[in-house]
Structure 1
Amino acid sequence: MASPPPSPPPLASIPIPDELLEEIFLRLPTPDAVARASGACTSFRRVIKGRAFRRRLRTLHRPPLLGFMDAAGFHPAQAPHPSAPLARALASCTADFSFVPAVVSSSSYLVPPGVQDDDGEGPRWRPCDVRDGRVLLVWTSLMLTKRERFNAAKLHLAVCDPLCSRYVLLPTIPQDLAAQPQDLLREFQPVLAPCTGDDGQEEPFKVICIARYQTKLVLFVFPSTTMRWCMAESPIFPSLKHMSCFDCVRGCFYWTEPYGWSDHLMVLDTRTLRFSIVDNLTGYHAELSDLPDQSFGYRRANALVMGREGALEMFSLVCQHGSFAIYHTSLQNNSQEWKLEKIIQLPGQYHDYNISTVGAAEGFLFFRGAPEGIHIGNVDSYSMEVKTYEITKVCTEMDNIYNPRRALPFFSFPPLLSEPTI
């Protein structure tokens, strides 16, 4: 009997060029899927860790929402939110700013106007703004007596990248610079200017402190390129009673009234450091502001978002007979009047809820809700995608629905796919 013919030798695997692997990985649906693919083999990881590839990936995908930061800490996204596994894995480093050295050890400290201190834990670093993967931290130093006034020169600030444990301690504002306005300081808001680059590369950062005095508006500006504070006085005095609520749209900050409608929006262009105003009560907004709202006094009503090219878009919460709706309006560059785009009726489980918008970022509107009559309890945080109007629950936390502290949405790619921002 003849022996069977020998088996053919196994086909040698043909190596896939790196350029083709990049194109395959760029077509994966989410950054999380790319991060998981990096664990398959060393060649995949080598391609994915390439700086050029990561830059291309970040131009195609927006960073995932990991949760919210506020004065009480970090609140990660919870299941079934798609970012929950990544948020849980990164929660420890995102919530911990202990790698930033303490400024003072005294148990007494100063709370500047506009910076909320809700936990009574004494001096420590607290996040006051989040943008482009960076966190702006504030540390307060001295307790004010009734006769003392807040001194901007005593405020300590730091900018950090929590996922990479990197930080920059900012020098305090020089005393002679802080004393120049010679006026009573009413509000003081430190913010991070947005990055203006389009290629995803690391950029210098800029911290802007908006100081509202009794009779003038002053900007204290700290660019990381010079590491020196400078001051600019605005010729426009704010028409708003408060400037603590703002949204960032295309490199500009837009301020709205926290608990109602105002005649104008205050606008700061972070590139030119110039203020301007936008008429607010025109077109459909004039009708919307006249609607009786049963809970207007307890919540922030309006938020502005990154809209279509040439348009400014606003989302407003309105309560009618116990039910909430979101009114989407827009203002085209060539128009002087706000136009209604869509009314989004919130589902039935929101009936009789206390709801407040908490801002907008990365194409999402954020709001919080709690059942009527429950001041401290389970407060739910939600996101709504601006393009699709899809509402997703992000997390639930024990909190006070009337708490004035600002919730900061924190977006970031996994460390494997991101570059250090500091």
Structure 2
Amino acid sequence: MDPPPPPPASIPVPDDLLEEIFVRLPTPDAVARASAACTSFRSVIKGRSFRRRFRAMHGPPLLGFMDAAGFHPAQAPHPSAPLAGALAPCAADFSFVPAVVSSASYVRPAVQEDDGEGPRWRPCDVRDGRVLLDWISFYPRSVHMWSYCEGCARREVSILMDSREPVNLNICARPTWTKRERCNAADFHLAVCDPLSIRYVLLPTIPEDLASQPQDLLQEFQPVLAPCTGDDSEEVPFKVICIARYQTKLVLFVFPSTARQWSMVESPIFPSLEHMSCLYDMSSFDYVRGSFYWTDRHDWSEHLMVLDTRTLRFSTVDLLTGYHMELRSLPGQSFDDRRPNAVVLGREGALEMFSLVCQHGAFALYHTSLQNNSQEWKLEKIIQLPGQYRDYSISTIGAAEGFLFFRGALGGLGSIENVDCYSMEVKTYGITKVCTKTEKFLNRRSALPYFSFPPLLSEPTI
């Protein structure tokens, strides 16, 4: 009996056809598994053409949240949990960024107990896979206004302090101010890094001559990352914008990575300076068609404040029109600073907002929109949030990449509580639990949603 004929030789699949197959894989996990199958598959997937096409067709996966305590990866059954768990050690580690060891500006207060965190870099904004870092001593810092009497006159000074550092409440006698305590924009140390590729840029501090130009008391200082505006070249430029609110003016300090030097822009006209008490967390909300939006954190203000990151100009959008007048007057409604409105990237030509409302102890998101050709906000939908969270326990924490994020705490008034973090897809209103993390009550840190492709599919962003 004749032996069976040998099987026909397999026809090699051309690389361009493999690319067409792989680019249609649904998730980065599936691409990673295909890459591990053989060297020819990996060669196609590592190619720049494939990576560019895959990123264009698929949004970056949500890996979790960053805050001053570290990185909190997405947990099962969230679809990003396997990838987030694998990348968590890289995403949580900023030790490759050199420490600030310059001066006595960062001496631990002797009367405070060490919280175990120590001086280090901590994230203050996240965008496009990059992390903007602020050097924190032992506790989160903020600008404080201090009053004291000098003769018959009362004076004021702005100081940079750790949030739990004790202060002398006696304002009748002028304290002895140190160089550290006389705060200006030159006191802040910043860095931008890509934790997955372990690359970083240390920003120079704002020059003293530039920081002193406003000649006014600094009241608030908030650095943010402007989104990428470059092409697919190897080095995509970035821009850091520091919004400095002074007693009588608003100033921008701008650092573009292309020029690598600071410049200053003073807003000539700012119509609602009295509403600028809400800079913190402004960047946690979606970047909408070239601009950041934010509102008063405590109540309904008359305007949305708008910063165009391309022209570096401020403007406003009328907020109290149409349905928002009804929404502000809902019976049994309560406000606090954990429920700022979230402006999100909506349909073409529309500005869309989600307002977190607590009414009679229960929470709902009110989706409203403002068309370009209209001056009236209209109601799109009311989304009821999980009923197990009552009273104080829900807060919005950001919006990015077509998602709105909020968190809820089930615990009572204990010192430690478990906080559940959720995402809601803006187009479908689908709510998904991302992770559970532990926080100290009344010491909640700003949580920053972190989206990024794994290194296999992305170019280094720094």
Of 214, 220, 226, 2:247 maps to 214
SS in 2 for 1:276: strand
Deviation (angstroms), 1:242: 2.2
Contact 1:382/1:393, CA 8 A, preserved across alignment:
yes
Question: Secondary structure of 2:40's match?
Answer: helix
Contact residue 409 and residue 419 of structure 2 kept, 8 A: yes
- Aligned partner of 1:359 in structure 2 is 398
Alignment match, 2:156: none
CA shift for structure 1 position 387: 0.7
Q: In the superposition, relative to structure 1, how do residues 154 and 353 fare at CA in structure 2: closer, same or farther (>3 Å)?
A: closer
For 2:411 and 2:67, how far apart are their aligned partners in 1? 23
Aligned residues of 2:230 and 2:237 also touching (Cα < 8 A): no
The question of 1:244 aligning with 2:280 is answered yes
Give the match for residue 155 of structure 2.
none
TM-score, length of structure 2 as denominator length:
0.85
Check 1:404–1:258 CA distance in 2 against 1; reply closer, same or farther (3 A cut): farther
Pairwise CA RMSD: 2.2
Distance in 2 between the 1:401 and 1:303 partners? 23
What CA deviation, in whole Å up to 9, does each residue of 1:194-248 have, x standing for no partner? 1134658641111110000000000000011111100000123334232223222
Q: Distance in 1 between matches of 2:115 and 2:239?
A: 28
Equivalent position of 2:51 in the other structure: 54
Give SS of 1:317's match: strand
Matching residue of 2:434? 394
Partner of 1:256: 295
Could you report, residue by residue, the CA deviation over 1:280-307 in whole angstroms, capped at 9, with x for unpaired residues? 1111111111124554225223111111
Q: Describe how 1:116-127 pairs up with structure 2 within 5 A.
A: 121-127=117-123
SS at match of 2:420: strand
Contact residue 122 and residue 136 of structure 2 kept, 8 A: no
Q: CA deviation at 1:374?
A: 3.5
Q: Distance in 1 between matches of 2:10 and 2:257?
A: 50
Deviates more, 1:396-405 or 1:222-231: 396-405
Q: 1:411 aligns with which of 451, 454, 460?
A: 451
Matches within 5 A, 1:20-419: 20-104=17-101, 109=106, 121-140=117-136, 147=177, 148-197=181-230, 202-237=235-270, 238-240=273-275, 241-246=277-282, 247=285, 248-352=287-391, 354-371=393-410, 373-375=412-414, 376-400=416-440, 402-419=442-459
5+ long unaligned stretches in structure 1:
112-117
Amino acid at match of 1:196: T
Separation in 1 of the partners of 2:333 and 2:441? 16
Whole-Å separation in 2 of the counterparts to 1:284 and 1:196: 35
Q: What amino acid is the match of 2:52? A: R
Opposite residue 286 of structure 1, the aligned amino acid is: M
**Quick one: distance in 2 between partners of 1:193 and 1:105?**
28
**Contact preservation (8 Å) 1:379, 1:398:** yes
What secondary structure sits across from 2:21 in the alignment? Answer: helix
CA shift for structure 1 position 341: 0.5
**Which whole-Å CA distance do the structure 2 matches of 1:121 and 1:331 have between them?**
44
What is the rounded CA distance, in whole Å, between the counterparts of 1:191 and 1:298 in structure 2?
Answer: 20
Structure 2 CA distance for partners of 1:107 and 1:291, relative to 1, 3 Å? farther
Q: Matched residues in 2 for 1:293 and 1:43: separation? A: 63
Structure-2 separation of matches of 1:128 and 1:273: 20
SS of residue matched to 1:349? coil
TM-score, L = length of structure 1: 0.92
Task: Check 1:293–1:60 CA distance in 2 against 1; reply closer, same or farther (3 A cut).
Answer: farther
Q: Is the 8 A contact 1:304 1:359 kept in 2?
A: no
After superposition, what is the alpha-carbon deviation per residue over 1:95-141, rounded to whole angstroms, capped at 9, x for unaligned? Answer: 11000011117675299xxxxxx957342101100000000001147
Cα offset, 1:377, TM superposition: 0.9
Aligned residue identity for 1:75: H
Q: Which ranges of structure 2 fall in alignment gaps of 5 or more residues?
A: 109-113, 142-159, 162-166, 168-174
Identity of aligned residues (%): 77
Query: How many residues of Structure 1 are paired with residues of Structure 2 in the alignment?
Result: 413
Residue 155 of structure 1 deviates from its aligned partner by 1.2
